[in-house]
Structure 1
Amino acid sequence: MNTIAALSAEDFSFELEAEEQSAIEGASRSEFAYHMLRIALQRGVFKPGQRLREVELSTALNVSRTPIREALHRLANDGLLTISANKGVAVAQLDIQQVMELYTMREILEGAAAALAATRASDMEVILMQQLLDEDRQSAADDYARHALMNRRFHRTIYQAAHNPYLLRSLDGLRDAMALLGKTTLSDPTRWHTALEEHQAMVDAIKNRDAAEAEKLARSHVQNALKERMKQFML
């Protein structure tokens, strides 16, 4: 069922990563709206199936409705939104089969990224992975938004440490699709603690330059995330 939720500027007050900030600096109003809505989708601001209204988005982002309309159509072309004459604009929803296919691709790509990082990561990149992991450990157990942010940064560091631009672009595309899954699986405290242990094992394998072990651990990590995701689907 499609839902309607009032939106405000507060919904877009999330912290921007450096590359996200760079994308919106000096951008046209249409580009600004597109990037902010895309980031909001990735942050989980909108729920799958949620209806979006141009007038509310226009007010929240302080731009006219024309750039909002252009951005919504671009996001629909990206497969992140649906547009229909009867129901208007809504966040796309994935069925179970699509979720399974998405995680299959994630397992392959993240396994490859971890394996490459084990052979190509600089010492400073490995140190950064450990720092991000240690910082996440200091977060409050119920700070789900913080867990999701640190998780994105951790995985992004591994992607970049693979030093393969083609793989990075593929993973970026996958990240957009992952935004359609709804709330993070790290909202379960047990899963968060387990994920931290899995992340540490991945860092250790990368630090030891063991590509086979790093790939195996990354694949297992994604498989465990899928199991948690399926639990959410069954609720």
Structure 2
Amino acid sequence: MVEADQVLELVEMRIIIESEAASLAAIRHTEEELLEIKESLEAFKGTIKNSAEIGYEADYRFHHDIVKAAHNSFLLHTVENLGHLYRKALAYSLTQRPESRKQVHEDHDRIFEAIKNRDAQGAAEAVREHLEHVRMKVMQG
């Protein structure tokens, strides 16, 4: 099982990688990639309505699709190589406060909108804010 300290370290790394990846995705995404990100967003939204489903796989896919849309193979390989840790950490953080899944979806909406609008700075800021919410949730346990 993943420990809170490990999740916090992963969140730090994700802030560094994913905020820049979202910025690049806002500039570089194709319409097909935007659709993939939107589908992942909707899949996670569906888990909010189904309390039996944690939603960590849809959450991972959303973040993965953003990194993919950045068009940087090293960023993508990094996220994919750490995919198993991402999934464990996401499962951990989503089960800490199940009621916070709505906040996660709202954060994801802001990230998606910034990417869709090709707002690189806004996308980076939205990811940082989202991951700060995750950090606070894990710290509160």
- TM-score bin (small chain): 0.7 to 0.9
- 1:106 to partner: Cα distance: 1.1
Structure 1: distance between partners of 2:39 and 2:87: 25
Which secondary structure does the structure 1 equivalent of 2:71 belong to?
coil
RMSD over aligned Cα atoms: 2.2
Contact 1:125 1:161 in 2 (8 A): yes
Which secondary structure does the structure 2 equivalent of 1:144 belong to?
coil
Q: Which residue number in structure 1 is paired with residue 131 of structure 2?
A: 222
Letter of the structure 1 residue corresponding to residue 60 of structure 2 = R
- Aligned pairs for 1:45-194 (under 5 A) are 48=1, 94=3, 96=5, 98-139=6-47, 140-145=49-54, 147-178=55-86, 181=89, 183-187=91-95, 188-194=97-103
Contact 1:94 1:180 in 2 (8 A): no
Q: Which residue number in structure 2 is paired with residue 19 of structure 1?
A: none
Deviation string 1:39-81 (CA, Å, 9 cap, x unpaired) is xxxxxxxxx2xxxxxxxxxxxxxxxxxxxxxxxxxxxxxxxxx
Deviation string 1:79-120 (CA, Å, 9 cap, x unpaired) is xxxxxxxxxxxxxx6563x54333211111010110010011
Structure 2: distance between partners of 1:182 and 1:118: 24
Matched, 1:212 2:128: no
Q: Which has the higher contact order (CA 8 A, sep 6+)?
A: 2
> Which of 95, 104, 108 matches 1:199?
108
Deviation string 1:15-50 (CA, Å, 9 cap, x unpaired) is xxxxxxxxxxxxxxxxxxxxxxxxxxxxxxxxx2xx
Aligned-pair identity in percent equals 30
Q: Any unmatched runs of 5+ in structure 2?
A: none
- 1:229 to partner: Cα distance: 1.4
Letter of the structure 2 residue corresponding to residue 210 of structure 1 = D
Letter of the structure 1 residue corresponding to residue 106 of structure 2 = E
Letter of the structure 2 residue corresponding to residue 230 of structure 1 = M
Could you list the runs of 4 or more consecutive aligned residues of structure 1 that deviate by over 4 angstroms after TM superposition?
A: 179-182
TM-score by length of 2: 0.84
For the structure 1 residues 226 and 117, does the alpha-carbon distance in structure 2 shift closer, same or farther, using more than 3 Å as the test?
A: same
Contact 2:37 2:62 in 1 (8 A): yes
For the structure 1 residues 182 and 192, does the alpha-carbon distance in structure 2 shift closer, same or farther, using more than 3 Å as the test?
A: closer
Structure 2: distance between partners of 1:142 and 1:112: 32
Structure 2: distance between partners of 1:143 and 1:179: 17
TM-score by length of 1: 0.53
Which structure has the bigger radius of gyration? 1
- 1:136 to partner: Cα distance: 2.5
- 1:210 to partner: Cα distance: 0.5
Which secondary structure does the structure 2 equivalent of 1:184 belong to?
helix
